[in-house]
């Protein structure tokens, strides 16, 4: 029996409410399922997805990259949304995507990555795309749609915690409800955001910061943006211990990629990313995480206020990540205490501090 181990992006899809549909009218349900498969299979092929198997109303698809999987999922949901508008037929699917090691055997795939993708798919509502944090790290700067972190969930039969994100598709923003509690929660947040009109100012930023945390011994690695780098980083992301709070942030530009990690993982990264791709390492950095209420994540002015507050006190910001409902600021380690004091004072007073921090 031959088998091979490889890194892959795994996608699960299934039709929402298909069992109920079958019980109500089996012939209509089977006809819709046939149409569903005819629509999806060409889209899988367009994005180099390999159909592993079907399971009733569900598909298991393998991709060579997380980005191809997410782009495929977006096209699927866009196409089905258009069909629903034209034909007025309700056929919604939910999609879950994870990236990790799989074992291929006799045309099938096995492993934790498959199990996790299956669990993530069940967190999605009709018309949704949910992705793991490992997928998020690879695509967050490469998709035009916002990625929202969902409320923490325990995935059945998954030993370690995994953050899950939802791709915010613009045609889904005005829906009234969803099949899952997570979907209802996100709709509630969206409604709060829609009614928020006032621009966030310096005083307001101070009053809505919920929590500040600081972490030192951070490094930033600059690498060339070659085609093999996403695969290497996907392998590295599997080595990061997120359960212990280890750091991994990735920013992709046209020619380079910035990787922010714990200094203790630098050697591990060096064994996975070829030395010829490494342009440089910036040591002695710190990571400041600023948490906000979810209803403020779209409010304008937060990033500008925090950046200007640090800059006027001569704090050098190397990277700024908007990872709602948090902002993650990468700074020189020597400025860590000063930066914390600046924002802590801002939080305590609900207003901007006067003058430089001591």
All CATH 3.30.70.1230 domain ranges in the chain, comma separated? 3-195
User: Quick one: pLDDT band at residue 351, thresholds 50, 70, 90?
Assistant: very low
Minimal CA–CA distance to 65: which of 125, 119, 143? 143
| Full DSSP string of 8-77 | EEEEEEEETTHHHHHHH-HHHHHHHHHHHHHHHHHHHHHTT-EEEEEETTEEEEEESSHHHHHHHHHHHH
Q: Where are the beta strands (DSSP E) in the chain?
A: 3-15, 50-55, 58-63, 93-105, 108-110, 129-132, 147-149, 164-167, 211-224, 248-252, 256-262, 278-291, 317-323, 326-332
Rounded Cα distance between 147 and 45, Å, is 25
**Token pair belonging to 253:** 């530009």
Q: Between 302-311 and 336-349, two packed helices, what is the crossing angle to 10 degrees?
A: 130
* pLDDT tens sequence across 49-102: 999 999 888 999 999 999 999 999 999 999 888 887 666 556 789 999 999 889
All CATH 3.30.2130.10 domain ranges in the chain, comma separated? 202-349
In DSSP terms, 11 is beta-bridged to 61, 97
Q: What is the pTM of this model?
A: 0.51
CB 269 within 8 A of CB 187: no
In DSSP terms, 81 is beta-bridged to none
* pLDDT tens sequence across 95-150: 999 998 899 888 889 988 898 898 899 888 889 999 998 999 899 888 888 898 88
CB 112 within 8 A of CB 132: no
Q: What is the pLDDT of residue 193?
A: 44
| Full DSSP string of 283-299 | EEEEEEEEE--GGGTT-
Q: Which CATH number applies to 3-195: 3.40.50.620, 3.30.70.1230, 3.50.50.60, 3.40.50.2300? A: 3.30.70.1230
Residue 180 has pLDDT above 60, yes or no: no
Rounded Cα distance between 247 and 258, Å, is 13
Q: What is the pLDDT of residue 324?
A: 52
* pLDDT tens sequence across 228-237: 787 788 788 8
Distance from the Cα of residue 77 to its chain's centroid? 17
- CATH number of the structural domain 202-349: 3.30.2130.10
User: Quick one: pLDDT band at residue 333, thresholds 50, 70, 90?
Assistant: very high
Contacts of 151 (CB under 8 A, 6+ apart): 182, 185
Q: What is the pLDDT of residue 197?
A: 40
Cis amide bond preceding 289, omega within 30: no
Number of CB atoms found within 10 A of residue 288's CB: 23
**Token pair belonging to 204:** 């307001």
């Amino acid at each position: 029996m031959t088998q091979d181990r490889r890194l892959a992006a795994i996608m699960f899809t299934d039709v929402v409410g298909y069992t109920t549909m079958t019980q109500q009218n089996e012939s209509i349900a089977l006809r819709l399922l046939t149409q569903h498969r005819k629509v999806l299979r060409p889209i899988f092929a367009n994005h180099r997805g390999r159909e592993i198997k079907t399971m009733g109303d569900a598909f298991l698809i393998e991709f060579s990259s997380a980005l191809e999987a997410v782009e495929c999922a977006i096209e699927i949901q866009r196409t089905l949304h258009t069909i629903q508008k034209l034909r007025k037929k309700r056929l919604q699917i939910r999609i879950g995507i994870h990236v990790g090691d799989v074992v291929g055997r006799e045309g099938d795939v096995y492993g934790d990555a498959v199990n996790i993708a299956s669990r993530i798919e069940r967190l999605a509502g009709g018309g949704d795309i949910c992705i793991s944090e490992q997928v998020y790290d690879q695509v967050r700067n490469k998709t035009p749609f916002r990625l929202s972190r969902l409320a923490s969930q325990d995935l059945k039969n998954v030993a370690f915690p995994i953050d899950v994100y939802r791709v915010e598709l613009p045609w889904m923003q005005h829906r009234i409800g969803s099949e899952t509690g997570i979907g209802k929660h996100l709709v509630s947040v969206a409604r709060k955001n829609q009614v928020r009109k006032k621009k966030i100012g310096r005083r307001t930023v101070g009053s809505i910061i919920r929590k500040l945390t600081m972490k030192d011994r951070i490094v930033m690695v600059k690498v060339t943006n070659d085609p093999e780098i996403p695969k290497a980083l996907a392998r590295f992301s599997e080595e990061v211990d997120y359960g212990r709070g280890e750091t991994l942030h990735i920013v992709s530009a046209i020619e380079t990629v910035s990787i922010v990690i714990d200094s203790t993982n630098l050697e591990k990264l060096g064994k996975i990313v070829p030395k010829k791709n490494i342009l440089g390492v910036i040591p002695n950095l710190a990571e400041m995480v600023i948490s906000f209420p979810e209803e403020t994540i779209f409010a304008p002015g937060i990033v500008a206020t925090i950046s200007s507050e640090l800059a006027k006190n001569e704090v050098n910001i190397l990277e700024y990540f908007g990872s709602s409902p948090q902002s993650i600021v990468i700074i020189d380690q020597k400025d860590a205490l000063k930066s914390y004091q600046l924002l802590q004072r801002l939080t305590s007073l609900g207003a901007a501090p006067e003058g430089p921090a001591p």
